[in-house]
Structure 1
């Protein structure tokens, strides 16, 4: 996968309302891997223009350290979309996050617009997939452009569009989550899980982080600073996983026959690749914290 060669941690990606100056200031101190400065759902219509200016100023400020900085613009069906996109491209964040991307044509139109607005090469596209149609066309969306590097699950909208309910274990949306994950892995893209709404339910949040990690998500989008620590822990390899990865690679590199074992288990190429990825993630997290 392209991302594994130059892995960037995205364990915790926090939505921050760009109309809230205190929130933008607090984000400078949070141990998040990434920030989504939000111009969409978290911002009232009367505050859209002020929020846009604040988000663009934030990404230009250089005051957020190694955090990955992105801006979520308003959707293509809104009056703010075109001006949002022009302003954000000029600001040059790490990525533009676009809601409700439902087709390859939508991706291509966005990429074309970013080029017309002279977006810097480092400014990538993150596509939010949050409708049944997007789930059924996720591979086409993910494969549409190399500039699209990340899929972001919009699980709240997906639940709404399905006429479903938010329940522990997320059974109503598991098919959609799986389709989007398959699309991301088939096309070499990163995929970030949706938000957990009940910020006071720590146990439920941690269970959903664990579920997301087990499924294969790279990290989780968050709506509250109190969720950062749990997401960082859940989506990072634990000490045992790192120890095993090093042991597998050591056994593989010192092999003298075609058969290699580690702790009594047969080691094959697939185990080596998994071990290399585990260490890449671990080392990237260590570098971020250093």
Structure 2
């Protein structure tokens, strides 16, 4: 079952920008992806690697989950990135361009060879047409504990580039891919994050896409700017009304007179026993947010 670690807002921070790495310590994002890949120019890769790994070792990020996105293994920087990231000890390493389970099996071998601490997990970028076609097998790679696979991250910009799909309000052209990836993640008990919203000046547009992603069932959204953190945190939190209803459902099914009933009526709505699990998840999610300390 997917864990309840908060990943409502997962903010990319360019590893080549030391001020951004410092500012990230005070931002209310649930998780930070310290980026060595797309956000870093080729001539700044090595400096970014040094800065990101130093920042992770230094700490000071509170309860924020720290993820290092490395360059792909076949690039000139991939092997050095992976080795340095393991030594720095983030919560997870984000692998780009995971288009088949073979990529994860290969990374598993490298993690073992480099004696990576067991607590370091692997996140996988789903950003190619091949990844969408292979998504069930990619998600199922988590059955091999050596892959350490914990989370799928949608790379919608790369998907659009490779398929010639236009990113439009509502994202209708991408909906089959989003839901196929989500179904694969849920089938294997993985977390899954939505792709970024590009227009960081359009806060309301971001808010709407975050709401959509939550309705679809995503755990959270990857972000490219601090202004997007609040819309994500708000959209992926259960409302007071949702929590109140959830507590009512739990309490109602716990009454002795309802012990053998498969469905009950609460305030004019029918709830089946299967709704108890959903209600408990909403309450646990709300409690985790209330206890959040950044």
TM-score by length of 1: 0.96
Partner residue in 1 for 2:283: 279
Partner residue in 2 for 1:223: 224
Partner residue in 2 for 1:180: 181
Aligned: 1:44 with 2:48: no
Partner residue in 2 for 1:25: 22
Deviation at residue 2 of structure 1 after TM alignment: 4.2
Partner residue in 1 for 2:270: 266
Partner residue in 1 for 2:112: 115
Instruction: Give the 4+ runs in structure 1 shifted more than 4 A.
Output: none
Which blocks of at least 5 consecutive residues in structure 2 are unaligned?
Answer: none
Q: Deviations over 1:202-247 (max 9, x none)?
A: 2211111111001000000000000000000000111111111111
Are 1:90 and 1:117, in contact at CA under 8 Å, matched by a contact in 2? no
Q: How many Å separate the matches in 2 of 1:45 and 1:130? A: 20
Which blocks of at least 5 consecutive residues in structure 1 are unaligned?
Answer: none
Deviation at residue 76 of structure 1 after TM alignment: 2.4
Partner residue in 1 for 2:87: 90
Deviation at residue 23 of structure 1 after TM alignment: 0.4
Aligned pairs, number = 287
Alignment of 1:1-290 (within 5 A): 1-3=1-3, 7-145=4-142, 146=145, 147-257=148-258, 258-259=260-261, 260-289=264-293
Mean CA deviation greater in 223-232 or 273-282: 273-282
Deviation at residue 281 of structure 1 after TM alignment: 1.0
Deviation at residue 169 of structure 1 after TM alignment: 0.7
SS of match in other structure, 1:65:
coil
Q: How many Å separate the matches in 2 of 1:224 and 1:161? A: 24
The CA RMSD measured in Å over matched residues stands at: 1.2
Are 2:253 and 2:273, in contact at CA under 8 Å, matched by a contact in 1? no
